Structure 1
Amino acid sequence: MLGLVFAAIALFGGSARLDVNLLLFLRPLCMIAIGVLLVLPITAPARQMRAPTLLLALLALAIAVQLVPLPPSIWTSLPGHERYAEAALAAGLDQPWRPISLTPWRTWNSLLTLLPAIALLMSLRGISYRQEPRVIYGFLAFLAISLVLGVFQVGGVIDGPPLPYRFFAEDSVVGFFANRNHAAAVLATGFPVLRMWSLAHGKSKLPSSRRRLIAMVSALVLLVMIVVTGSRTGIVVGFASLAASLAMSPLEELGAGMRKSHAKWLRILVIAVPTLVVALLVLFGKALSIDRFVGDDLLAEKRLTFLPVLLDIIRDFLPFGSGFGSFDPVFRSYEPDWGLSRKYFNNAHNDLIELVLTGGIPALLVLLGFVGWIGWRIWRSWKNVPSGETISTRAGAIMAGSLMLASLTDYPLRTPLAGAVLVFATYLMSRPMPSHRSSTEKSR
């Protein structure tokens, strides 16, 4: 069931737009999966994912509350709603009972957007310890297929994503996605998973030295693909994820079982080779991400020039927000004349800002709860000696951090596929860790 759910999300969930026809396949499939998973017994769950489940339920509640109809006396007094009440008054219309959301149908869509995450979370709860390696291999296989698609897109064999998205980044490496920024952010989550797999003592039939070699080569290919996507955010997130992944465990692991001189050169090559490859890509004009960093005027980006306008909207609608999914029509009512162009601003390109703008304080509290849970898990992992549990937690935290960092300049987590990867990251972080004392005794 887990494999079927993730495959459906990968095939049909690569776009963040709400008018994608592929959602007509994905959401019913997720509903069916949820129904089946409610019936199937969970005998030996590998992880007690109580915190992620609670946080996802609170997010759903924060969205659902915005759909509750309110009497006119309350609705017209909500912050930010005055101008819409005045419009109805000027038109001579009576005020009916209305919800907090200014665009209820878009908020309903936001609620349904959680279906893939719910289906995947329920699937992962039923995974036993014996099945964990299969889940890791499944995610690595997904990354491998994404890389193959990227190579085909670079070579011109495939024009755009494998499925017919109406809007997508042309002449870019997008993999399963319609947006190169989202594709690059998900590729960046591959570094911690590869590092975790290379450190999986006794959990693979491959010798540890061969695992490390495969992981290093795969990480290099990932890095090259991120650089050629054309995503400026992706290259920053990619290098940050790579550096954090190397810091997951002491680098001495890379040279275990080798001569000291050979191990020293290996550690040098781990840093030098990616740098050399990126330099060669720049030299031969293939580093589109870096070219866009150098050639584009970052200060003229709409996501920066519109920042004061977005802060004004947040101030007007606090503490309840304008309604999940309402950013596009609400922003158009605030958009200044100097900002008008042939390109429309469909999202804030900063999900922290958009979350507060549309979801208000309740949505912000859910986000802070999630960040706090990640911080607590990281603290627990560093308090214990390195083990399979602590390495898994660190890998999941780096994955989640990469996606959230990318969300500061874009909106990858609004795609069902990137959201599924975040759920997988919480799965890695949810493994119970032994106490400090038991870990020390075990290491002896």
Structure 2
Amino acid sequence: MSTTESRGKIGLGIVLFLALVLGGGAGPGLFTDSLLQAAIVVAVAFVLAGPRQVAASPIVLSFLILTFLAGLLQVLPLPAWMIEGTRPEVFNPHGDGSAYRLVSLGVGRTLEAMAFALCGLLFALAVSTLRGEHVRGLLPFFFIGVACNMLAGAMQFSMAQDTRLESWLPYVIMAGLFANVNHFSTLLFATIPLLVYYGLFVGRGVLVSLAIPAILLVLLAAGSRAGVLIGLAITVLSLLFLAWRSRIGTVTIGALFAGLGVYSFGATTKFVGELDTAFGRLEFMRSTLEGIRENWLWGIGYGNFTSGYGLYERGEMIFRNYVNHVHNDYLEVAFEGGILAMALMGFYGLCVLARLRHRLDPLQRAAFLSILFILLHSSVDYPLRTMAIAITFALLNGIYFHRLPLFKPLSRDEAIEVQHNGDTILVPIAEPAGSSRRRSRAQADA
């Protein structure tokens, strides 16, 4: 383990932690997001500029390049004939007969949105270049950030009626360190598979057995319908997906399912009758689909949803409070980016499914579950518009699309501790004859 690689891991871990505690806002133009983006670029540059033994994931690199090109196309002047007739004339920024027009309705907002997305992709790219032990070394930073959010959330929910907190952060804290309760819940349920992995394969069972019930209780107290239901589902699937091949006994699994049953009863009791009855998200989706139909080729520019949505809004839906998101990230991105954005989303989905055909490490299987449920939650909300969730999603993708299996770390019985370059590492003691050949064959099969 070289000192440079170790420092690179620590740098990524620090910015990951900072994103979790400072990146809970979902609004545009937050100075905290700008500071975090600068820190991410510095940390990623340190990792990519140093010596690497693992090549970057080609999938992450391809997606980074394609995303950059898709955003660049929206802010470059294009011949007017390419845009005329492809969307309502009211969206044409230059109606004075100019020979060139821009796709984006607001270049500044598009550049801001692209910087946000590219920072996440750069973080995922840097994670994909780390060796297995360094990737696992990022998990403690992640868990500490989640614990800070849980502690803040528990303190808020123990207060009286009003849990809103105002601080030096550029947004009002509603749950944990987030401005949105549902996004706070997204972070918690995305943590569950990683905790299950940590308990089963890293030997932290006691800690995890306390952490998961605490997460479920905080989710219940947070009042997020989506978070509660998905948190319950992801716990069950994590156990089935990861613990099925471990040594957990039937009695333990039965007790866990019994506890989940009690928890689900509490969730159902708390949220019965709270569903939207009118003027809800289905109407937002209908209006956005109408916008996609008229702007399917070019879109209106990333980050410009509020500028284009009003044209398709029904008169009776116009109130003092305006719609700033459609509460469906897929529709919103398609509205903003047009057919190229739809193609990018389809390409990502195919890459996720194709990766399942390869042999996955337990940590990669856990990352897949977290990715799956963040994507599911994105169909009813916009969690990826929050820096904390975006960097979490980037971490998960860096793990999932890592080119090498992230093997289980050596146990204390299989290795001894050795000091090397100021680091404590585990060195194998010995291995039975023929095991090295079998391991090489397993790596070749992967």
TM-score per shorter chain, which class?
0.7 to 0.9
1:212–1:7 CA distance, 2 compared to 1 (3 A)? closer
- Alpha-carbon contact 1:161-1:178 (below 8 Å) kept: no
Partners of 1:297 and 1:196 lie apart in 2 by 34
1:270 aligns with 2:242: no
The answer to whether 1:230 aligns with 2:223 is: yes
Distance of 2:261 and 2:206 partners within structure 1:
18
Task: Return the alpha-carbon distance in structure 2 between the equivalents of residues 222 and 21 of structure 1.
Answer: 29
Q: Could you tell me how far 1:183 is from its partner in structure 2?
A: 0.9
**For residue 402 of structure 1, what is the aligned residue in structure 2?**
373
State the TM-score, normalized to the length of structure 2.
Answer: 0.81
**Counterpart contact for 1:322–1:357, Cα < 8 Å:** yes
1:153 aligns with 2:156: yes
Whole-angstrom distance in 1 between the partners of 2:62 and 2:94 = 39
Contact 1:5–1:119 (CA under 8 A) maintained in structure 2: no
Residue 369 (structure 1) aligned to one of 338, 347, 370: 347
| Aligned amino acid, residue 244 of structure 1 | L
Q: What's the counterpart of residue 212 of structure 2?
A: 219
Residue pair 1:116, 1:416 contacting (<8 A) in 2 also = no
Aligned-pair CA distance for 1:138? 2.2
Q: For residues 98-132 of structure 1, what are the alpha-carbon distances to aligned partners after superposition, in whole Å with 9 as ceiling and x for unaligned? A: 21112222111111112431442344244223323
Paired residue total = 401
How far apart are residue 278 of structure 1 and its match? Answer: 4.6
| Counterpart AA for 2:26 | A
Percent identical residues: 22
Aligned to 1:258: none
Who is 1:20 aligned against? 30
Q: Deviations over 1:167-202 (max 9, x none)?
A: 5464xxx223211111101110111101111221xx
| Residue 33, structure 1, aligned to residue 19, structure 2 | no
Contact 1:251–1:267 (Cα < 8 Å) also in 2? no
Does residue 296 (structure 1) correspond to residue 313 (structure 2)? The answer is no
* Counterpart check, 1:82 vs 2:60: no
Alpha-carbon distance, 1:271 to partner: 0.6
Structure 2 unpaired stretches of 5+: 1-10, 407-436
The answer as to 2:58 corresponding to 1:50 is yes
The CA distance in 1 between the partners of 2:189 and 2:114, in whole Å, is: 27
Structure 1 equivalent of residue 391 of structure 2: 420
User: What letter matches 2:108 in structure 1?
Assistant: W
TM-score between both structures, scaled by the size of structure 1: 0.81
CA distance in 2, matches of 1:162, 1:338: 33
Equivalent in the alignment of 1:7: 17
Where 1:30 maps in the other structure, the secondary structure is helix
Q: Residue 220 and residue 162 in structure 1: after superposition, are their counterparts in 2 closer, same or farther (change >3 A)?
A: farther
User: Aligned partners of 1:137 and 1:124: how far apart in 2?
Assistant: 15
Is the 1:162–1:176 Cα contact (8 Å) retained in structure 2?
Answer: no
Alpha carbons 2:371, 2:393 under 8 Å: kept? yes
The offset of 1:13, in angstroms, is 1.9
CA shift at 1:11, angstroms? 3.5
Match 2:290 to one of 307, 312, 315: 312
Does the CA contact (< 8 Å) of 2:56 and 2:126 recur in 1?
Answer: no
- Which segment drifts farther, 51-60 or 121-130? 121-130
CA RMSD of superposed structures (Å) = 2.9
Residue from 136, 140, 145 that aligns with 2:139: 136
Q: Deviations over 1:54-93 (max 9, x none)?
A: 213212221111111123333333x2142345x976xxx4
Contact kept? 2:301, 2:337, Cα under 8 Å? yes
Question: Cα distance, 1:441 vs. partner?
Answer: 7.1
**Contact 1:161–1:177 at 8 Å: present in 2 too?**
no
Maintained 8 Å contact 1:14/1:415: yes
Q: Distance in 2 between matches of 1:190 and 1:311?
A: 32
Once the two structures are TM-superposed, the CA of residue 313 in structure 1 deviates from its matched residue by 0.8
